[in-house]
Amino acid sequence: QQQQQQHPSPPPLGPAEFHVSKASSAAAAASSSPPAAPPAPPAEPAPGSAQLPSVGSSGHVLGRCKPCAFFHTVGCGNGALCQFCHLCEAGEKQRRRKERLEIRRTARRVRQSLPVGQIKVSARPTA
């Protein structure tokens, strides 16, 4: 049989143990270091703020965001936790889609206009 060892809890501190003289507390305050500086403000605004209404809005300034399809229509149910941008204009998702489609069409026209075997254009970069 294993016998569990129980450690008794320490006795409560009495009033005498809490008593600190004014002289010793003043000396301790004088010998301690100055209070630490307050922490620096965050580098980015908090999600849900006017500058960052959703998590996905973080790349908006650099153009690296993906527009939220619901924000300007029926409203986004994910709120500040949405992985898509709430800062983009109402038609931004459609505008970007049309732009990608036009780039593909142009690339197809260029490929078709080249003589066979002259230059091979790849849609994907090779490693």
Per-residue confidence (pLDDT) for residue 1, from 0 to 100: 44
- Low-confidence residues of the chain: pLDDT under 50: 1-4
Note whether 87 and 68 are within 8 A (CB). no
Distance CA 56, CA 77 (A): 14
List, in sequence order, every residue forming a beta bridge with 67; answer none if it has no partner: 85
Is the alpha carbon torsion for 47, 51, 57, 61 positive or negative? negative
Per-residue confidence (pLDDT) for residue 98, from 0 to 100: 96
Note whether 55 and 83 are within 8 A (CB). yes
Distance CA 83, CA 66 (A): 8
Per-residue confidence (pLDDT) for residue 74, from 0 to 100: 92
Q: What are phi and psi of 107, to 5 degrees?
A: -65, -40
**Collapsing DSSP states into helix, strand and coil, what is residue 97?**
helix
Give the pair of three-digit tokens for residue 122: 């790849």
Per-residue confidence (pLDDT) for residue 7, from 0 to 100: 53
**Collapsing DSSP states into helix, strand and coil, what is residue 85?**
strand
Query: pTM of this prediction?
Result: 0.50
**Collapsing DSSP states into helix, strand and coil, what is residue 111?**
helix
